[in-house]
Amino acid sequence: MKIAVLMVLFLVQLSTQASNYKPKRDTLFGYPIGQPYYPRPHDVHYPSHAAEKAYNAHPDVYVPTSPGYEPDADRYAYAPGYQNYHQAGQPSAAGIPVFFPSSSGPDVPPPFPARAKPRYPSPNNIINFRAYSTVEQIDAYLDYISDQYPDITDVKTIGYSGEGRPIRMVRIHPRTVRRNSNKPKILVDAGIHAREWIAPAVALYMIQQLVENNDDHRNITEQLEWHIIPLLNPDGYAYSMTTDRMWRKNRSNTTNPYCSGVDLNRNFDLFFGGLGTSSDPCDETYTGKVPFSEPEARALRDYATSLSNVRLYLTLHSFGQFFLYPWGFGDVLPRDWRDLDKLGRVAQKALERVRGTKYRVGSSTNLLGAAAGGSDDWMKGRAGIKYSYTVELPGGGEKGFDLPASQILAVSQETWEALKTMGYFILEERRRHRKRRNPQAGKRLDDI
């Protein structure tokens, strides 16, 4: 009897030890990273509009919504380099968050020698984060960084708006780093809806941090490429500044001479004209006559499809404080929705740390209701970008969209923390993938 008890104890001991010696799973922030790292194929197949029914039914693309799922958000740790901001984001005695990324040290020890050439911050009269910038100021700022930082930036015009304004994109990636078209990319746009002024402001802040403060963000600019379109709908934006503060759409002519403008975020070709859209040109959610009828939407589509290996797409909107992932066209979720949910919560945590602002994370249909034909759905469903999010920035003012200019800096800073953390997540995913494929890889940081 005694021997039997001892045997049992011995076996229990053995099994505990065995479980202790299990190889550790590949995890990030406590969650397994099991996703294959696949570049977007150049010959990505675009199903025809008629094929969408079959597409919807495809078992690899959709799974039914699981409303009971509530991940344990507290298990998320911080991204590398995050610790500095925890203190930096604390409110001062006056209650104003003291938070200047440039003064709180680099994200991670920079592996490269410091830049020899001194840099000067952009003059305040080009952009500052105390007032909303006009189209002309945004253009002037892009000219400024293209002129002053030619070794880090490429400023390109990716198309023209209906009224002929250039739609400009800044690619941020140092030229000194070995070129590799398969480098992971992050594509960001803002200002698709004209009145959501805080969105272009945050995009400009991102550009300023990545470019003018590049020494603090070397890892995420050398090993990733950022492609930022700060103002996708310049016509609508200009109109909202001069004529109608609550203008949302672009300014194109429609079939109704009394109502102009198409909702660019309903003009994309995935379930075009589906739920949450309107075929009436007088409505705020007018889809346009056909998918991609609008030059602004085409410019974004064409630019996105010209890039390979875009891992993360962010479209900045206001208002509501959400990180939304697909699908927006209906109450279904992508097969890999848990991955999107995870990264959304990583971003949410990073943002909340700065000054306590609360965001919610979920599919756009589940949190805001269906809205088909949006750019986020298209980027995931058609362009094959795994991580695709609509970021709904905070509201304020009288109607929500007219957030007071005094909030620009604080909102930009907290959002930047979240978006930067997403960059680190993509970087880490890349590193882990390469390590799995080839244990020698990742030794030279500039070789990734």
Residues with catalytic annotation? 392
Interface with Zn ion: number of residues (CB under 5 A): 2
**Residue closer to Zn ion, measured from CB, 152 or 371:** 371
- Dist. CA 70–CA 157, nearest whole Å: 42
Kindly state the smallest distance separating residue 316's Cβ from Zn ion, in Å.
9
**Could you write out the DSSP letters of every residue in 49-99?**
GGGHHHHHH-TTTEEE--TT----GGG--PPTT-HHHHHHTSB-TTS-B--
Q: Within 10 A of 126 (CB to CB), how many other CB atoms are there? A: 17
**Which span (132-140, 190-198, 256-264, 432-440) binds Zn ion, by CB under 5 A?**
190-198
Kindly state the smallest distance separating residue 149's Cβ from Zn ion, in Å.
30
**Residue closer to Zn ion, measured from CB, 301 or 317:** 317
Closest CA to 196 of 170, 157, 233, 141: 233
Provide the strand spans (E) within 354-417.
360-363, 387-393
Among 40, 317, 342, 430, contact with Zn ion (rule: CB under 5 A)? 317
Provide the strand spans (E) within 261-409.
310-318, 322-325, 332-334, 360-363, 387-393
Q: Within 10 A of 360 (CB to CB), how many other CB atoms are there? A: 16
- The HSE-up count of residue 148 (CA atoms within 13 Å, CB side) is 17
193 part of the interface to Zn ion, by CB under 5 A: yes
Task: Answer yes or no: are the C-beta atoms of 133 and 201 closer than 8 Å.
Answer: yes
**Residue closer to Zn ion, measured from CB, 190 or 211:** 190
Provide the strand spans (E) within 248-309.
none
**Residue closer to Zn ion, measured from CB, 107 or 189:** 189
DSSP 8-class letter at 431: H
**Residue closer to Zn ion, measured from CB, 56 or 407:** 407
**Which span (118-126, 297-305, 310-318, 364-372) binds Zn ion, by CB under 5 A?**
310-318
List contacts with Zn ion (CB under 5 A). 193, 317
